[in-house]
Amino acid sequence: MEHKVRQIDASLVTDEIERLCISANCNLPEHNLKMIEDAMAKEKSPLGRQILENLLKNHRIAREEQVPACQDTGLAVVFIEVGQEVHIINGSLEDAINEGVRRGYKNGYLRKSAVFDPVFDRKNSDDNTPAIIHTRIVDGDRIAITVAPKGGGAENMSALAMLTPAAGAEGIKRFVVDTVSKAGPNPCPPIVVGVGIGGTFDKVTLLAKKALTRTMGSHNPDPRYAAMEDELLEEINELGIGPQGFGGTTTALAVHIETYACHIASMPVAVNINCHVCPHESSVI
């Protein structure tokens, strides 16, 4: 059988990553702004409403002037799905991604927030590399890329628990709400909450991160998890943390749950928090 291989030049990947790094940080989707507007209409705290209005103003300035909505333009988290019929030519995939990050953060005037050694030197790499790369080989002859720059403030408030199956849905909800409660004003509320359930110690955190790349406010296709998303959102908004933590009824804009199979003995849950900017953008080559 003849096999058709599609050749993709590594420079195409670099160009696309560069564009996505800049756009994700500067161009917040109209849909997300609409969600903040809706939250503003429902927010009970006058100070909270004023804060939400200023966030909207900020996001519009970012788009008009093509500057990042937040100065923390994050580590560049890159999800890349490579079709198995694709042959990348003229360079390696990882080099191409890192070159795209290097160019995007330079040409987009984005902040370089990566240090090489995490403990001793903590020297800034000055070009925001290396990227955090999650690669999957999939069917087909395309490359799908999502760039999700991740800021430090909200990331630091994230948590993982290896629950037992006996803890059930209630145990998961308690852990998610407790994590958000403890974070309080730190992750720049209103936040988006990514929840991973299932898999292993490593897999569950990836699910939580992936959950943050969904369209804001979209639901899990399984109605049971969709209901859990709604319940969690309601409980989180009853915490009273409010916009920027000064009290109010809008603590989170959305809760997204992603799940995977897991061991008979386990029920891992991970909570990855993002701020109201929640930057990410995708494209297909």
Q: How far is the CB of 239 from other proteins (least distance, A)?
A: 6
Name which position in 37, 42, 54, 263 contacts other proteins (CB under 8 A). 54
Q: How far is the CB of 200 from other proteins (least distance, A)?
A: 30
**Which span (168-176, 179-187, 224-232, 258-266) binds other proteins, by CB under 8 A?**
179-187
| 230-255: burial string, b at 16+ Cβ within 10 Å, e else | eebbebbbebebbbbbeebbbbbbbb
- Mark 181-220 with x for binding to other proteins (rule: CB under 8 A) and - for no binding: ---xxx-x--------------------------------
- Mark 104-133 with x for binding to other proteins (rule: CB under 8 A) and - for no binding: -----xxxxx--------x-x-x-------
- Nearer Cβ to other proteins (68/196): 68
Nearest CA-CA partner of 77 in 198, 201, 205: 205
* Touching other proteins, residues 255-284 (CB under 8 A): 275-277
Amino acid sitting at position 122: R
Which of left, alpha, beta for 182 (phi over 0: left; psi -120 to 50: alpha)?
A: alpha
In whole angstroms, how far apart are CA 189 and each of 116, 192, 272? 29, 8, 14
Q: Residue count at the site for other proteins (CB under 8 A)? A: 50
- Mark 62-81 with x for binding to other proteins (rule: CB under 8 A) and - for no binding: x--xxxxxxxxx--------
Residue 142 and residue 284 in contact, taking contact as beta carbons nearer than 8 Å: yes
- Nearer Cβ to other proteins (8/28): 28
154, burial (CB in 10 Å: exposed 0-12, middle 13-18, buried 19+): buried
Name which position in 168, 240, 263, 282 contacts other proteins (CB under 8 A). 240
Q: Which residue has the tokens 């903590």?
A: 122
